Amino acid sequence: MGNSKNHIFIIGMMGSGKSSIAQLLSTKYNIPYIDTDKDLVEIMGAEIQGIFKSLTKKKFYHLESTYFLEHIKGKQHIYATGGGLVLNAANRKALKKFGTTLFLNASINTLFNRLSADSKNIRPLFSNGLSKMQIKKIWEERKKYYQQCSDIIIDTNNKSVSTIVDEIIPLLKS
């Protein structure tokens, strides 16, 4: 991995497993990882739901982008990004230019099951209730961006985190 393209960016829908994969890759490669959502929670001193409510969705994405575009100027990291990062054109450009981007793909059913199981972390986009229809709607708006931005696409359906990481490693080397 050369210098101008040195980060590893993990993108995908909410529930696609970005944080877990980023952590495991971080241990394997000994490269620090960051979870942009967690950093924003720390900076803002509020949970994502609270930030969404006080700032509105649009301003949350703007804040996320400002933080992301600034952070990537620093040393090499593995990034677990927020699912909405690809909505912003400047972010998409940065994903292409400054790193290798892994897209964790998952079916609507898989996302629904994973998000249902993650009841501690209710995403603000589902504050009115989690449904397959709502997941599908978000997916339809974003799928082209996830595909456009990615260097590597991994199918994560019915796979454990360690199986997914074992699939990723040889692909990152090539």
Q: Is 17 in the site for ligand S3P (CB under 6 A)?
A: no
Smallest distance from the beta carbon of 67 to ligand S3P, in angstroms? 11
Please select the residue that binds ligand S3P; options are 124, 134, 143, 159, rule is CB under 6 A. 124
Q: Could you say which of 125, 152, 153, 172 contacts ligand S3P (CB under 6 A)?
A: 125
CB of 6 to ligand S3P, least distance (A): 22
| DSSP characters over the chain | --STT-EEEEE-STTS-HHHHHHHHHHHHT--EEEHHHHHHHHHTS-HHHHHHHH-HHHHHHHHHHHHHHHTTSS--EEE--TTGGGSHHHHHHHHHSEEEEEEE--HHHHHHHHHH-TTS--GGGTT---HHHHHHHHHHHHHHHHHH-SEEEE-TT--HHHHHHHHHHHHH-
Q: Where in 51-110 is the site for ligand S3P (CB under 6 A)?
A: 82-84
Contacts with ligand S3P by CB under 6 A: the residue count is 10
Residues that bind ligand S3P (CB under 6 A): 14, 18, 37, 48, 82-84, 123-125
